[in-house]
């Protein structure tokens, strides 16, 4: 079902500092900062040949990454995103197998304008998994 790695998302307390660290020491090409108030994050993208790294900083009152940063004040890997061909059939399959989907279990439009789902980290060895339709 899963096809390829789309991105690894890293929550950081200071996105400008983090972007600079990747640029200066790893030669990363870092995108402009974009604010996504509907997702409660500010984001920069680092394009790799085969995937992206996304640096995320909380934005606004109810950021979904605020709690994570409280527990991990220096930052850390927040989720990995894997691509699937058909998010609706993936959702149905996982539900029928008892895998917990966060929220309503209906795919939502994610940060890249494509439908996504998040799987409960307790079902995947403490890793939050985002599934994104290709
Ligand atoms: Co993501």
CATH of the domain at 85: 3.10.180.10
| Cα 134 → chain centroid | 15
Mean pLDDT along residues 9-30: 97
Of 48, 13, 14, 45, which is closest to residue 32 (Cα–Cα)? 45
Using the mean position of ligand 1's atoms as its centre, give its distance from the Cα of residue 41 in Å: 11
- Is the pLDDT confidence value at 40 over 90? yes
Q: What distance in Å separates the CA atoms of residue 73 and residue 92, rounded to the nearest whole number? A: 36
- For ligand 1, a single-atom ion, the residues with CB < 5 A are 9, 81, 130
- Is the pLDDT confidence value at 4 over 90? yes
Name the more confident of 26 and 106: 26
pLDDT for the residue 99: 97
- Is the pLDDT confidence value at 105 over 80? no
| Inter-residue contact 130 to 118 (CB < 8 Å) | yes
Write out the residue range of the structural domain in which residue 119 sits: 2-133
Using the mean position of ligand 1's atoms as its centre, give its distance from the Cα of residue 111 in Å: 7
- Is the pLDDT confidence value at 75 over 90? yes
Q: pLDDT averaged over the chain?
A: 95
DSSP class of residue 32?
Answer: P
As for how many domains the chain has, the answer is 1
Q: What distance in Å separates the CA atoms of residue 88 and residue 74, rounded to the nearest whole number? A: 36
């Amino acid at each position: 079902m899963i096809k390829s790695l789309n991105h690894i998302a890293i929550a950081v307390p200071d996105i400008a500092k983090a972007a600079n660290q990747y640029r200066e020491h790893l030669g990363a090409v870092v995108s402009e900062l974009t604010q996504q108030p509907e997702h409660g994050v500010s984001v920069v993208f680092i394009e790799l040949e085969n995937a992206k790294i996304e640096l995320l900083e909380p934005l606004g009152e109810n950021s979904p990454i605020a709690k994570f940063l409280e527990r991990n004040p220096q930052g850390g890997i927040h989720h990995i995103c894997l691509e699937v061909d058909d998010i609706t059939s993936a959702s149905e399959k996982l539900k029928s197998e008892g895998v917990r989907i966060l929220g309503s279990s209906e795919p939502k439009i994610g940060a890249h304008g494509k439908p996504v789902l998040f799987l409960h980290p307790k079902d995947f060895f403490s890793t939050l998994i985002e599934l994104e339709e290709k």
